Structure 1
Protein backbone atom coordinates (compact mmCIF):
# COMPACT_ATOMS: atom_id res chain seq x y z
CA UNK A 1 0.00 0.00 0.00
CA UNK A 2 1.41 3.40 -0.97
CA UNK A 3 1.49 6.32 1.47
CA UNK A 4 -1.35 8.00 -0.45
CA UNK A 5 -3.46 4.86 -0.30
CA UNK A 6 -2.66 4.49 3.39
CA UNK A 7 -3.84 8.03 4.18
CA UNK A 8 -7.03 7.69 2.12
CA UNK A 9 -8.10 4.25 3.35
CA UNK A 10 -11.48 3.78 5.03
CA UNK A 11 -11.57 4.09 8.85
CA UNK A 12 -10.74 0.83 10.59
CA UNK A 13 -13.80 -0.56 12.45
CA UNK A 14 -11.53 -2.31 14.93
CA UNK A 15 -9.66 -0.83 17.89
CA UNK A 16 -6.94 -3.45 17.51
CA UNK A 17 -5.99 -5.83 14.72
CA UNK A 18 -3.21 -8.40 14.96
CA UNK A 19 -2.89 -10.29 11.68
CA UNK A 20 -0.54 -13.22 11.07
CA UNK A 21 2.06 -12.27 13.68
CA UNK A 22 4.80 -14.72 14.66
CA UNK A 23 7.73 -14.09 16.98
CA UNK A 24 10.77 -16.07 18.08
CA UNK A 25 13.48 -15.74 20.70
CA UNK A 26 16.41 -17.37 19.00
CA UNK A 27 15.15 -20.72 17.75
CA UNK A 28 12.20 -20.78 20.17
CA UNK A 29 8.92 -19.87 18.46
CA UNK A 30 6.72 -18.14 21.06
CA UNK A 31 3.96 -16.79 18.79
CA UNK A 32 2.83 -18.77 15.76
CA UNK A 33 0.74 -16.91 13.15
CA UNK A 34 -1.39 -15.13 15.75
CA UNK A 35 -4.43 -13.16 14.57
CA UNK A 36 -6.74 -11.22 16.90
CA UNK A 37 -9.29 -8.49 16.18
CA UNK A 38 -10.86 -6.36 18.91
CA UNK A 39 -13.76 -4.23 17.60
CA UNK A 40 -14.41 -0.85 19.15
CA UNK A 41 -16.68 -1.06 22.17
CA UNK A 42 -15.63 -4.65 22.88
CA UNK A 43 -14.16 -6.26 25.98
CA UNK A 44 -11.90 -9.05 24.72
CA UNK A 45 -10.38 -11.56 27.12
CA UNK A 46 -7.00 -12.99 26.11
CA UNK A 47 -7.05 -16.22 28.08
CA UNK A 48 -3.99 -18.37 28.59
CA UNK A 49 -1.58 -19.73 31.22
CA UNK A 50 1.92 -18.41 31.88
CA UNK A 51 4.08 -19.11 28.85
CA UNK A 52 1.20 -18.92 26.41
CA UNK A 53 2.67 -15.82 24.75
CA UNK A 54 0.34 -13.16 26.17
CA UNK A 55 3.08 -10.83 27.42
CA UNK A 56 5.08 -11.27 24.21
CA UNK A 57 2.03 -10.28 22.19
CA UNK A 58 1.57 -7.19 24.36
CA UNK A 59 5.24 -6.30 23.90
CA UNK A 60 4.78 -6.44 20.12
CA UNK A 61 1.62 -4.33 20.21
CA UNK A 62 3.32 -1.69 22.36
CA UNK A 63 6.53 -1.76 20.26
CA UNK A 64 8.76 -2.99 23.09
CA UNK A 65 9.54 -5.68 20.51
CA UNK A 66 9.46 -5.20 16.75
CA UNK A 67 7.05 -7.38 14.78
CA UNK A 68 8.95 -8.65 11.77
CA UNK A 69 6.04 -10.68 10.44
CA UNK A 70 2.37 -9.94 10.00
CA UNK A 71 0.64 -6.67 10.81
CA UNK A 72 -0.53 -4.88 13.95
CA UNK A 73 -2.93 -1.91 13.71
CA UNK A 74 -4.33 0.32 16.45
CA UNK A 75 -7.38 2.28 15.34
CA UNK A 76 -6.21 1.72 11.77
CA UNK A 77 -2.60 2.84 12.31
CA UNK A 78 0.13 0.29 11.60
CA UNK A 79 2.53 0.14 14.57
CA UNK A 80 5.55 -0.28 12.28
CA UNK A 81 4.66 2.31 9.63
CA UNK A 82 2.99 4.85 11.93
CA UNK A 83 4.24 4.05 15.46
CA UNK A 84 3.61 7.55 16.82
CA UNK A 85 0.01 7.70 15.59
CA UNK A 86 -0.65 4.11 16.68
CA UNK A 87 0.74 4.39 20.20
CA UNK A 88 -0.96 7.75 20.77
CA UNK A 89 -4.24 5.85 20.56
CA UNK A 90 -3.19 3.11 22.95
CA UNK A 91 -3.42 2.95 26.73
CA UNK A 92 -1.54 0.23 28.63
CA UNK A 93 -1.59 -1.23 32.13
CA UNK A 94 1.25 -3.70 32.55
CA UNK A 95 1.37 -6.47 35.13
CA UNK A 96 4.34 -4.97 36.96
CA UNK A 97 3.74 -1.98 39.23
CA UNK A 98 4.99 1.24 37.63
CA UNK A 99 3.77 4.07 39.88
CA UNK A 100 6.18 6.13 41.99
CA UNK A 101 5.16 5.49 45.58
CA UNK A 102 6.73 8.69 46.86
CA UNK A 103 4.63 10.90 44.58
CA UNK A 104 0.96 11.71 44.98
CA UNK A 105 -1.68 10.26 42.67
CA UNK A 106 -1.93 13.59 40.89
CA UNK A 107 1.84 13.94 40.52
CA UNK A 108 2.10 10.48 38.97
CA UNK A 109 -0.56 11.39 36.44
CA UNK A 110 0.88 14.83 35.66
CA UNK A 111 4.29 13.32 34.99
CA UNK A 112 2.75 10.86 32.54
CA UNK A 113 0.74 13.63 30.88
CA UNK A 114 3.91 15.63 30.33
CA UNK A 115 5.43 12.64 28.50
CA UNK A 116 2.47 12.84 26.11
CA UNK A 117 3.00 16.55 25.56
CA UNK A 118 -0.16 17.58 27.40
CA UNK A 119 0.04 21.11 28.80
CA UNK A 120 -0.05 21.74 32.55
CA UNK A 121 -3.57 23.19 32.81
CA UNK A 122 -5.09 20.55 30.54
CA UNK A 123 -3.14 17.82 32.33
CA UNK A 124 -4.59 18.84 35.68
CA UNK A 125 -8.10 18.77 34.25
CA UNK A 126 -7.56 15.37 32.67
CA UNK A 127 -5.97 13.97 35.82
CA UNK A 128 -8.96 15.07 37.89
CA UNK A 129 -11.38 13.56 35.38
CA UNK A 130 -9.44 10.29 35.19
CA UNK A 131 -9.23 9.92 38.97
CA UNK A 132 -12.96 10.60 39.21
CA UNK A 133 -13.57 7.89 36.61
CA UNK A 134 -11.80 5.31 38.78
CA UNK A 135 -13.36 6.56 42.02
CA UNK A 136 -10.26 8.16 43.54
CA UNK A 137 -10.84 11.89 43.09
CA UNK A 138 -10.70 12.43 46.85
CA UNK A 139 -7.27 10.79 47.11
CA UNK A 140 -5.52 12.94 44.47
CA UNK A 141 -3.06 14.52 46.91
CA UNK A 142 -2.19 11.38 48.85
CA UNK A 143 1.00 9.48 48.17
CA UNK A 144 0.69 6.29 46.18
CA UNK A 145 2.45 4.25 48.87
CA UNK A 146 -0.62 4.72 51.09
CA UNK A 147 -2.92 2.95 48.62
CA UNK A 148 -4.06 -0.65 48.60
CA UNK A 149 -3.11 -2.85 45.66
CA UNK A 150 -6.53 -2.45 44.08
CA UNK A 151 -6.46 1.33 44.45
CA UNK A 152 -3.00 1.49 42.86
CA UNK A 153 -4.30 -0.50 39.90
CA UNK A 154 -7.14 1.99 39.52
CA UNK A 155 -4.59 4.82 39.42
CA UNK A 156 -2.72 2.97 36.66
CA UNK A 157 -5.96 2.73 34.70
CA UNK A 158 -6.53 6.46 35.23
CA UNK A 159 -3.02 7.15 33.98
CA UNK A 160 -3.62 5.02 30.88
CA UNK A 161 -6.70 7.15 30.06
CA UNK A 162 -5.01 10.57 30.23
CA UNK A 163 -4.28 10.87 26.50
CA UNK A 164 -7.80 9.65 25.54
CA UNK A 165 -6.88 6.34 23.88
CA UNK A 166 -9.33 4.33 21.81
CA UNK A 167 -7.73 1.00 22.70
CA UNK A 168 -6.72 -0.25 26.14
CA UNK A 169 -4.42 -3.18 26.96
CA UNK A 170 -4.29 -4.68 30.44
CA UNK A 171 -1.85 -7.48 31.23
CA UNK A 172 -2.91 -9.58 34.24
CA UNK A 173 -4.24 -6.43 35.90
CA UNK A 174 -5.84 -8.24 38.85
CA UNK A 175 -2.90 -10.46 39.86
CA UNK A 176 -2.40 -10.36 43.63
CA UNK A 177 -5.67 -8.54 44.35
CA UNK A 178 -8.40 -9.78 46.67
CA UNK A 179 -11.82 -10.65 45.25
CA UNK A 180 -13.40 -7.27 46.02
CA UNK A 181 -10.51 -5.35 44.45
CA UNK A 182 -10.55 -7.61 41.39
CA UNK A 183 -14.26 -6.98 40.90
CA UNK A 184 -13.77 -3.23 41.30
CA UNK A 185 -10.96 -3.05 38.73
CA UNK A 186 -12.66 -5.20 36.12
CA UNK A 187 -15.96 -3.37 36.69
CA UNK A 188 -14.31 -0.01 35.99
CA UNK A 189 -12.84 -1.29 32.73
CA UNK A 190 -16.12 -2.83 31.59
CA UNK A 191 -17.87 0.48 32.25
CA UNK A 192 -15.26 2.29 30.12
CA UNK A 193 -16.09 -0.07 27.26
CA UNK A 194 -19.79 0.68 27.58
CA UNK A 195 -19.56 4.44 28.17
CA UNK A 196 -16.60 5.41 26.00
CA UNK A 197 -16.64 2.69 23.36
CA UNK A 198 -13.06 1.62 24.07
CA UNK A 199 -11.73 -1.59 22.63
CA UNK A 200 -10.12 -3.54 25.49
CA UNK A 201 -7.77 -6.52 25.39
CA UNK A 202 -7.69 -7.99 28.89
CA UNK A 203 -5.01 -10.67 29.37
CA UNK A 204 -5.70 -13.09 32.21
CA UNK A 205 -5.33 -16.67 33.41
CA UNK A 206 -8.46 -16.37 35.58
CA UNK A 207 -11.45 -17.97 33.88
CA UNK A 208 -13.91 -16.44 36.33
CA UNK A 209 -13.10 -13.00 34.88
CA UNK A 210 -14.96 -13.97 31.68
CA UNK A 211 -18.42 -12.52 31.08
CA UNK A 212 -21.04 -13.95 28.75
CA UNK A 213 -20.82 -10.93 26.44
CA UNK A 214 -17.01 -10.92 26.12
CA UNK A 215 -15.00 -11.81 23.07
CA UNK A 216 -12.81 -14.73 24.16
CA UNK A 217 -9.40 -15.41 22.63
CA UNK A 218 -7.66 -18.56 23.85
CA UNK A 219 -3.88 -18.43 23.43
CA UNK A 220 -1.94 -21.61 24.19
CA UNK A 221 1.68 -22.41 23.34
CA UNK A 222 1.83 -19.38 21.06
CA UNK A 223 -1.24 -20.28 18.99
CA UNK A 224 -4.80 -18.93 18.97
CA UNK A 225 -6.98 -21.97 19.55
CA UNK A 226 -10.30 -20.12 19.68
CA UNK A 227 -11.71 -16.65 19.08
CA UNK A 228 -15.39 -15.88 19.62
CA UNK A 229 -18.14 -15.52 22.19
CA UNK A 230 -18.74 -17.77 25.17
CA UNK A 231 -21.66 -19.54 23.47
CA UNK A 232 -19.41 -20.53 20.57
CA UNK A 233 -16.65 -21.57 22.99
CA UNK A 234 -19.01 -23.97 24.73
CA UNK A 235 -20.55 -25.23 21.50
CA UNK A 236 -17.18 -25.91 19.87
CA UNK A 237 -15.93 -27.97 22.81
CA UNK A 238 -19.23 -29.53 23.88
CA UNK A 239 -18.60 -28.24 27.41
CA UNK A 240 -21.08 -26.75 29.86
CA UNK A 241 -18.69 -24.25 31.50
CA UNK A 242 -15.84 -22.04 30.31
CA UNK A 243 -13.45 -23.91 32.61
CA UNK A 244 -14.38 -27.26 31.07
CA UNK A 245 -14.18 -25.76 27.57
CA UNK A 246 -10.67 -24.49 28.24
CA UNK A 247 -9.64 -27.88 29.64
CA UNK A 248 -11.03 -29.67 26.59
CA UNK A 249 -9.36 -27.29 24.14
CA UNK A 250 -5.91 -27.18 25.73
CA UNK A 251 -5.62 -30.39 27.72
CA UNK A 252 -4.66 -28.35 30.79
CA UNK A 253 -6.30 -29.59 33.97
CA UNK A 254 -6.42 -26.17 35.64
CA UNK A 255 -5.32 -22.93 34.06
CA UNK A 256 -4.88 -21.30 37.48
CA UNK A 257 -2.52 -24.08 38.64
CA UNK A 258 -0.66 -23.92 35.34
CA UNK A 259 -0.19 -20.18 35.80
CA UNK A 260 0.96 -20.43 39.41
Structure 2
Protein backbone atom coordinates (compact mmCIF):
# COMPACT_ATOMS: atom_id res chain seq x y z
CA UNK A 1 0.00 0.00 0.00
CA UNK A 2 1.36 3.43 -0.96
CA UNK A 3 2.00 5.40 2.24
CA UNK A 4 2.31 9.09 3.01
CA UNK A 5 0.45 12.17 1.89
CA UNK A 6 0.41 14.24 -1.26
CA UNK A 7 -0.48 13.51 -4.86
CA UNK A 8 2.03 10.65 -5.50
CA UNK A 9 0.86 8.72 -2.46
CA UNK A 10 -2.80 9.29 -3.28
CA UNK A 11 -2.22 8.17 -6.87
CA UNK A 12 -0.46 5.06 -5.60
CA UNK A 13 -3.39 4.15 -3.37
CA UNK A 14 -5.94 4.72 -6.14
CA UNK A 15 -3.82 2.70 -8.55
CA UNK A 16 -3.60 -0.16 -6.07
CA UNK A 17 -7.40 -0.14 -5.77
CA UNK A 18 -7.65 -0.55 -9.55
CA UNK A 19 -5.15 -3.42 -9.47
CA UNK A 20 -7.25 -5.22 -6.87
CA UNK A 21 -10.18 -5.00 -9.30
CA UNK A 22 -8.03 -6.30 -12.17
CA UNK A 23 -6.83 -9.24 -10.06
CA UNK A 24 -10.43 -10.07 -9.08
CA UNK A 25 -11.34 -10.13 -12.79
CA UNK A 26 -8.38 -12.42 -13.53
CA UNK A 27 -9.21 -14.69 -10.59
CA UNK A 28 -12.84 -14.98 -11.70
CA UNK A 29 -11.78 -16.46 -15.05
CA UNK A 30 -8.53 -18.30 -14.42
CA UNK A 31 -8.95 -19.55 -10.84
CA UNK A 32 -12.72 -19.90 -10.47
CA UNK A 33 -13.47 -20.76 -14.14
CA UNK A 34 -16.37 -18.30 -14.20
CA UNK A 35 -16.27 -16.46 -17.53
CA UNK A 36 -19.82 -15.30 -18.10
CA UNK A 37 -19.72 -11.56 -18.64
CA UNK A 38 -22.97 -10.47 -20.31
CA UNK A 39 -22.48 -8.84 -23.71
CA UNK A 40 -25.57 -7.31 -25.32
CA UNK A 41 -24.36 -8.07 -28.82
CA UNK A 42 -23.56 -11.70 -28.03
CA UNK A 43 -27.26 -12.31 -28.55
CA UNK A 44 -27.55 -10.10 -31.63
CA UNK A 45 -28.31 -11.50 -35.09
CA UNK A 46 -25.97 -8.97 -36.70
CA UNK A 47 -22.67 -10.40 -38.01
CA UNK A 48 -19.78 -9.57 -35.74
CA UNK A 49 -16.82 -7.64 -37.05
CA UNK A 50 -13.31 -8.80 -36.09
CA UNK A 51 -11.76 -7.66 -32.83
CA UNK A 52 -8.10 -6.66 -32.98
CA UNK A 53 -5.69 -7.38 -30.12
CA UNK A 54 -2.16 -5.98 -30.11
CA UNK A 55 0.62 -6.55 -27.56
CA UNK A 56 4.13 -5.16 -27.11
CA UNK A 57 6.64 -4.30 -24.41
CA UNK A 58 9.00 -1.47 -23.53
CA UNK A 59 11.88 -1.17 -21.07
CA UNK A 60 11.94 1.30 -18.16
CA UNK A 61 14.70 2.18 -15.72
CA UNK A 62 14.61 0.32 -12.40
CA UNK A 63 15.31 1.69 -8.94
CA UNK A 64 15.51 -1.80 -7.47
CA UNK A 65 18.86 -3.12 -6.30
CA UNK A 66 20.67 -5.30 -8.83
CA UNK A 67 18.30 -4.47 -11.67
CA UNK A 68 19.08 -1.87 -14.33
CA UNK A 69 15.88 -2.07 -16.36
CA UNK A 70 12.70 -4.12 -16.55
CA UNK A 71 9.96 -4.61 -19.11
CA UNK A 72 6.51 -3.08 -19.02
CA UNK A 73 4.05 -5.03 -21.15
CA UNK A 74 1.12 -3.34 -22.83
CA UNK A 75 -1.93 -4.40 -24.82
CA UNK A 76 -4.78 -2.74 -26.66
CA UNK A 77 -8.08 -4.08 -27.92
CA UNK A 78 -10.00 -2.33 -30.69
CA UNK A 79 -12.83 -2.99 -33.09
CA UNK A 80 -12.60 -3.60 -36.82
CA UNK A 81 -12.71 -0.72 -39.30
CA UNK A 82 -12.39 1.78 -36.48
CA UNK A 83 -9.61 3.94 -37.90
CA UNK A 84 -10.59 7.54 -38.59
CA UNK A 85 -8.65 10.13 -40.59
CA UNK A 86 -8.32 13.19 -38.35
CA UNK A 87 -5.72 15.12 -40.33
CA UNK A 88 -3.71 15.05 -43.52
CA UNK A 89 -1.25 12.52 -42.14
CA UNK A 90 -2.95 11.48 -38.91
CA UNK A 91 -5.36 8.70 -38.06
CA UNK A 92 -7.09 7.80 -34.81
CA UNK A 93 -7.81 4.25 -33.65
CA UNK A 94 -11.34 4.33 -32.26
CA UNK A 95 -13.08 2.21 -29.61
CA UNK A 96 -9.85 1.04 -28.02
CA UNK A 97 -8.94 0.09 -24.48
CA UNK A 98 -5.41 -0.18 -23.12
CA UNK A 99 -3.86 -2.17 -20.28
CA UNK A 100 -0.23 -2.17 -19.10
CA UNK A 101 1.75 -3.69 -16.24
CA UNK A 102 5.21 -4.90 -15.26
CA UNK A 103 3.97 -8.39 -14.34
CA UNK A 104 5.52 -11.53 -15.78
CA UNK A 105 4.16 -12.65 -19.15
CA UNK A 106 1.75 -15.27 -17.75
CA UNK A 107 0.16 -12.96 -15.17
CA UNK A 108 0.04 -10.08 -17.65
CA UNK A 109 -1.62 -12.28 -20.29
CA UNK A 110 -4.28 -13.49 -17.86
CA UNK A 111 -5.03 -10.01 -16.52
CA UNK A 112 -5.13 -8.48 -19.99
CA UNK A 113 -7.51 -11.17 -21.22
CA UNK A 114 -9.79 -10.69 -18.20
CA UNK A 115 -9.56 -6.91 -18.68
CA UNK A 116 -10.69 -7.31 -22.30
CA UNK A 117 -13.51 -9.73 -21.45
CA UNK A 118 -14.91 -7.30 -18.90
CA UNK A 119 -14.83 -4.59 -21.58
CA UNK A 120 -16.52 -6.40 -24.42
CA UNK A 121 -14.23 -9.08 -25.88
CA UNK A 122 -16.60 -11.80 -27.17
CA UNK A 123 -16.16 -15.48 -26.40
CA UNK A 124 -16.84 -16.30 -30.04
CA UNK A 125 -16.32 -14.41 -33.27
CA UNK A 126 -13.18 -13.54 -35.18
CA UNK A 127 -10.19 -12.19 -33.29
CA UNK A 128 -6.96 -10.99 -34.87
CA UNK A 129 -3.76 -10.95 -32.82
CA UNK A 130 -1.12 -8.52 -34.10
CA UNK A 131 2.45 -8.44 -32.76
CA UNK A 132 6.09 -8.07 -33.72
CA UNK A 133 6.63 -11.82 -33.30
CA UNK A 134 8.70 -11.77 -30.10
CA UNK A 135 8.78 -15.01 -28.11
CA UNK A 136 6.61 -14.01 -25.15
CA UNK A 137 4.03 -12.50 -27.50
CA UNK A 138 3.65 -15.77 -29.41
CA UNK A 139 3.33 -17.63 -26.10
CA UNK A 140 0.72 -15.18 -24.85
CA UNK A 141 -1.28 -15.50 -28.06
CA UNK A 142 -1.39 -19.29 -27.81
CA UNK A 143 -2.24 -19.18 -24.10
CA UNK A 144 -5.13 -16.71 -23.88
CA UNK A 145 -6.07 -16.17 -27.55
CA UNK A 146 -5.62 -19.68 -29.01
CA UNK A 147 -8.43 -19.29 -31.57
CA UNK A 148 -7.29 -15.87 -32.80
CA UNK A 149 -5.83 -15.38 -36.25
CA UNK A 150 -2.17 -14.53 -35.66
CA UNK A 151 -0.65 -11.82 -37.83
CA UNK A 152 3.00 -10.76 -37.75
CA UNK A 153 3.30 -7.00 -38.03
CA UNK A 154 4.32 -6.33 -41.63
CA UNK A 155 6.71 -3.54 -40.69
CA UNK A 156 8.70 -5.83 -38.40
CA UNK A 157 8.82 -8.57 -41.03
CA UNK A 158 10.22 -6.14 -43.59
CA UNK A 159 12.62 -4.67 -41.03
CA UNK A 160 14.03 -8.13 -40.22
CA UNK A 161 14.46 -8.94 -43.92
CA UNK A 162 16.00 -5.58 -44.81
CA UNK A 163 18.92 -6.25 -42.46
CA UNK A 164 20.29 -8.79 -44.95
CA UNK A 165 18.44 -8.16 -48.24
CA UNK A 166 19.25 -5.33 -50.64
CA UNK A 167 16.78 -2.79 -52.04
CA UNK A 168 16.07 -4.76 -55.22
CA UNK A 169 15.35 -7.90 -53.21
CA UNK A 170 13.11 -5.98 -50.84
CA UNK A 171 11.20 -4.62 -53.84
CA UNK A 172 10.50 -8.21 -54.90
CA UNK A 173 9.30 -9.05 -51.39
CA UNK A 174 7.08 -5.96 -51.31
CA UNK A 175 5.54 -6.81 -54.68
CA UNK A 176 4.79 -10.45 -53.90
CA UNK A 177 4.08 -10.50 -50.17
CA UNK A 178 0.29 -10.41 -50.65
CA UNK A 179 0.24 -13.08 -53.34
CA UNK A 180 2.13 -15.93 -51.68
CA UNK A 181 1.52 -18.36 -48.87
CA UNK A 182 3.81 -18.04 -45.87
CA UNK A 183 5.62 -21.21 -46.96
CA UNK A 184 6.30 -19.80 -50.42
CA UNK A 185 7.35 -16.44 -48.97
CA UNK A 186 9.91 -18.10 -46.72
CA UNK A 187 11.19 -20.15 -49.66
CA UNK A 188 11.62 -16.96 -51.70
CA UNK A 189 13.59 -15.28 -48.93
CA UNK A 190 15.66 -18.41 -48.31
CA UNK A 191 16.67 -18.59 -51.98
CA UNK A 192 17.80 -14.97 -51.83
CA UNK A 193 19.99 -15.75 -48.83
CA UNK A 194 21.86 -18.50 -50.68
CA UNK A 195 23.67 -16.02 -52.92
CA UNK A 196 24.82 -13.84 -50.04
CA UNK A 197 27.99 -13.88 -47.99
CA UNK A 198 26.27 -13.95 -44.62
CA UNK A 199 27.49 -15.20 -41.29
CA UNK A 200 25.80 -18.31 -39.95
CA UNK A 201 24.24 -16.18 -37.21
CA UNK A 202 22.78 -13.63 -39.65
CA UNK A 203 21.18 -16.34 -41.75
CA UNK A 204 20.02 -18.43 -38.79
CA UNK A 205 18.52 -15.46 -36.93
CA UNK A 206 16.34 -14.47 -39.88
CA UNK A 207 15.27 -17.99 -40.81
CA UNK A 208 14.41 -18.81 -37.19
CA UNK A 209 12.35 -15.63 -36.93
CA UNK A 210 10.47 -16.53 -40.11
CA UNK A 211 9.97 -20.15 -39.08
CA UNK A 212 8.69 -19.24 -35.62
CA UNK A 213 6.15 -16.82 -37.12
CA UNK A 214 5.23 -18.82 -40.22
CA UNK A 215 1.61 -19.25 -39.17
CA UNK A 216 1.32 -15.45 -38.81
CA UNK A 217 2.55 -14.43 -42.27
CA UNK A 218 -0.44 -14.79 -44.57
CA UNK A 219 -1.22 -11.26 -45.70
CA UNK A 220 -4.00 -9.63 -47.66
CA UNK A 221 -3.82 -6.07 -48.96
CA UNK A 222 -7.39 -5.59 -47.72
CA UNK A 223 -6.51 -6.38 -44.11
CA UNK A 224 -4.96 -4.42 -41.30
CA UNK A 225 -1.44 -5.85 -41.25
CA UNK A 226 0.39 -3.54 -38.86
CA UNK A 227 0.60 -3.17 -35.09
CA UNK A 228 1.14 0.57 -35.25
CA UNK A 229 -1.71 1.01 -32.78
CA UNK A 230 0.19 -0.58 -29.91
CA UNK A 231 3.45 1.10 -30.95
CA UNK A 232 1.76 4.50 -30.66
CA UNK A 233 -0.28 3.77 -27.57
CA UNK A 234 2.53 2.24 -25.56
CA UNK A 235 4.29 5.55 -26.10
CA UNK A 236 1.25 7.45 -24.84
CA UNK A 237 0.46 5.13 -21.94
CA UNK A 238 3.97 4.33 -20.73
CA UNK A 239 6.57 6.43 -22.53
CA UNK A 240 5.18 9.91 -21.93
CA UNK A 241 4.80 9.38 -18.20
CA UNK A 242 7.38 6.78 -17.21
CA UNK A 243 10.40 7.18 -19.49
CA UNK A 244 11.44 10.78 -19.04
CA UNK A 245 15.07 11.58 -18.36
CA UNK A 246 16.13 10.66 -14.83
CA UNK A 247 13.05 8.57 -14.04
CA UNK A 248 13.32 5.15 -12.41
CA UNK A 249 10.67 2.87 -10.96
CA UNK A 250 9.89 0.03 -8.61
CA UNK A 251 7.65 -2.69 -10.01
CA UNK A 252 4.96 -1.87 -7.45
CA UNK A 253 5.12 1.86 -8.11
CA UNK A 254 4.81 1.65 -11.88
CA UNK A 255 2.04 -0.96 -11.68
CA UNK A 256 0.00 1.33 -9.42
CA UNK A 257 0.53 4.31 -11.71
CA UNK A 258 -0.27 2.41 -14.90
CA UNK A 259 -3.47 0.97 -13.43
CA UNK A 260 -4.69 4.47 -12.66
CA UNK A 261 -3.45 5.80 -15.98
CA UNK A 262 -5.29 3.01 -17.85
CA UNK A 263 -8.55 4.00 -16.21
CA UNK A 264 -8.12 7.67 -17.07
CA UNK A 265 -6.99 7.14 -20.67
CA UNK A 266 -9.72 4.61 -21.41
CA UNK A 267 -12.35 7.04 -20.14
CA UNK A 268 -10.85 9.86 -22.24
CA UNK A 269 -10.63 7.72 -25.39
CA UNK A 270 -14.22 6.55 -24.94
CA UNK A 271 -15.38 10.17 -24.77
CA UNK A 272 -13.28 11.03 -27.84
CA UNK A 273 -14.72 8.12 -29.84
CA UNK A 274 -18.23 9.23 -28.96
CA UNK A 275 -17.41 12.78 -30.03
CA UNK A 276 -16.20 11.66 -33.45
CA UNK A 277 -19.25 9.41 -33.83
CA UNK A 278 -21.44 12.49 -33.46
CA UNK A 279 -19.69 14.15 -36.41
CA UNK A 280 -20.16 11.23 -38.85
- Structure 2 length-normalised TM: 0.30
Identify, as 1 or 2, the structure richer in strand.
1
- Structure 1 length-normalised TM: 0.32
Q: Which has the larger radius of gyration?
A: 2
Identify, as 1 or 2, the structure richer in helix.
2
